[in-house]
């Protein structure tokens, strides 16, 4: 009898637990439904792009390149017996970089010198004989031809011997060395890469609208990202006569490097073109931009929904960006709350 009572008590307890769980599940479902209904519309703050006047001043980005970048090639052949400069060393134009074995070249020069001396004497003797009609004109012509060949061979031998002393044609810094002592050179072998960063070139792309605002010889402010506390002055050296497929024009700016050459080739920099004029522009708060300035998008609200939209931007004016395409004045743009949005999300305006 006690056993039956115990079983009944257990069944009653299990039933009570099941009933409680069922009620809790219904309450959780109801709460989720309420939350779902309340989250159907994401609260956002809106803004608009507005026409305004801004300076025609603009910026452009690019990377520094050396004013001279030379990969020196061998003009001779032979074994390298000495290297005078290593990576990172500074060199002056005409300074020796390496030396090639000259024994065979000196022997070639001696042979060429001897042939030249003999041919010169032969020509002088034949010219004297020709005055007395002791030889034919053909013999005199052959003597002159032999002398010319000997003279050319002597010049070639001297040049080859001189080329065995490898010298830098420009001033700069050894960026890379391609040879070692014992290397055997042949013509066109790569020897050294030499760069001159005393002056630098900054190549930037400028739009068709802005390219008309600059002239060759004009001054430009330059800031290197790696040297943020220093502003340099550059000079516009060349403006492309033809734009690329995006109607951007290459502009070359020359910049004098500071003491100790802190700016390196390959560093990223911004050029500031100051223009004392104003123009009309469509400006939008930078906060409204989704993603980066390089691939800008915004959420436009229409009929209570947020729709993603690609735009194009121009200059950046502090906390505002110039919109050059993809957006019209008066369109409602999400300025805050984009992080919770997807294309087509319902929104409520705060």
Between residues 269 and 54, the one the model is more confident about: 269
Question: Using one digit for the tens of pLDDT, what is the confidence trace for 42-52?
Answer: 898 999 888 88
Is residue 344 exposed (0-12), middle (13-18) or buried (19+ Cβ within 10 Å)? exposed
pLDDT, mean over the chain: 86
pLDDT at position 32 is 47
- Could you say which DSSP state residue 245 is in? T
Q: How far apart are CA 165 and CA 153, in angstroms?
A: 19
The DSSP bridge partners found for residue 50 are 283
- Percent of the residues in the chain that have a pLDDT greater than 90, as a whole number: 47
Residue 226: name the closest of 254, 196, 256, 267 by CA.
267
Structural domains for the chain = 42-54+279-349 (2.40.420.20), 59-67+196-277 (2.40.30.170), 103-161 (1.10.287.470)
Over residues 68-90, mean pLDDT: 95
Question: Is the distance from CB of 341 to CB of 44 less than 8 angstroms?
Answer: yes
Task: State if pTM tops 0.95.
Answer: no
CB atoms within 10 A of CB 133: 8
Q: How confident is the model at residue 303 (pLDDT cuts 50, 70, 90)?
A: confident
Judge whether residue 313 has pLDDT over 70: yes
170-205 residues labelled b (16+ CB within 10 A) or e (exposed): bebbbbebebeeebebeeebebbbbbbbeebbbbbb
Residues 6+ apart with CB under 8 A from 275: 55, 56, 57, 58, 213
Q: How far apart are CA 276 and CA 207, in angstroms?
A: 18
pLDDT at position 19 is 52
- Could you say which DSSP state residue 2 is in? H
Question: Using one digit for the tens of pLDDT, what is the confidence trace for 167-204?
Answer: 999 999 999 999 999 999 999 999 999 999 999 999 99
Judge whether residue 239 has pLDDT over 80: yes
Is residue 50 exposed (0-12), middle (13-18) or buried (19+ Cβ within 10 Å)? middle
């Amino acid at each position: 009898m006690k056993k039956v009572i115990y079983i009944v008590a257990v069944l009653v307890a299990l039933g009570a637990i099941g009933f409680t769980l069922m009620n809790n599940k219904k309450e959780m479902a109801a709460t989720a439904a309420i939350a779902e209904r309340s989250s159907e519309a994401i609260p956002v703050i809106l803004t608009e792009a507005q026409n305004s006047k801004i300076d025609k001043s603009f910026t452009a980005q690019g990377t520094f390149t050396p004013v001279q970048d030379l990969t020196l090639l061998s003009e001779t052949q032979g074994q390298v017996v000495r290297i005078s400069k290593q990576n990172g060393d500074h060199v002056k134009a005409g300074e020796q970089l390496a030396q090639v074995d000259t024994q065979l070249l000196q022997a070639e020069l001696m042979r060429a010198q001897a042939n030249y001396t003999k041919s010169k004497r032969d020509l002088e003797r034949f010219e004297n004989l020709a005055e007395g009609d002791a030889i034919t004109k053909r013999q005199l012509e052959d003597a002159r031809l032999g002398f010319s060949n000997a003279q050319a061979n002597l010049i070639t031998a001297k040049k080859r011997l001189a080329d065995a002393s490898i010298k830098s044609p420009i001033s700069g810094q050894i960026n890379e060395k391609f040879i070692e002592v014992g290397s055997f050179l042949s013509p066109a072998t790569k020897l050294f890469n030499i760069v001159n960063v005393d002056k630098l070139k900054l190549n930037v792309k400028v739009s068709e609208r802005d390219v008309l605002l600059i002239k060759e010889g004009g001054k430009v402010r330059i800031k290197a990202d790696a040297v943020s506390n220093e502003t340099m002055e550059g000079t516009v050296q060349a403006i492309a006569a033809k734009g690329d497929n995006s109607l951007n024009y290459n502009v070359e700016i020359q910049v004098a490097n500071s003491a100790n050459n802190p700016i390196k080739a390959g560093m990223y920099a911004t050029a500031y073109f100051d223009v004392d004029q104003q123009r009309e522009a469509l400006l939008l708060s930078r906060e409204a931009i989704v993603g980066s300035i390089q691939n800008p998008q915004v959420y436009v609200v229409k009929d209570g929904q947020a729709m993603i939209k690609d735009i194009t931007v121009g200059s950046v004016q502090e906390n505002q960006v110039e919109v050059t395409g993809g957006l019209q004045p008066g369109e409602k743009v999400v300025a805050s709350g984009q992080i919770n949005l997807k294309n087509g999300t319902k929104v409520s305006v705060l």
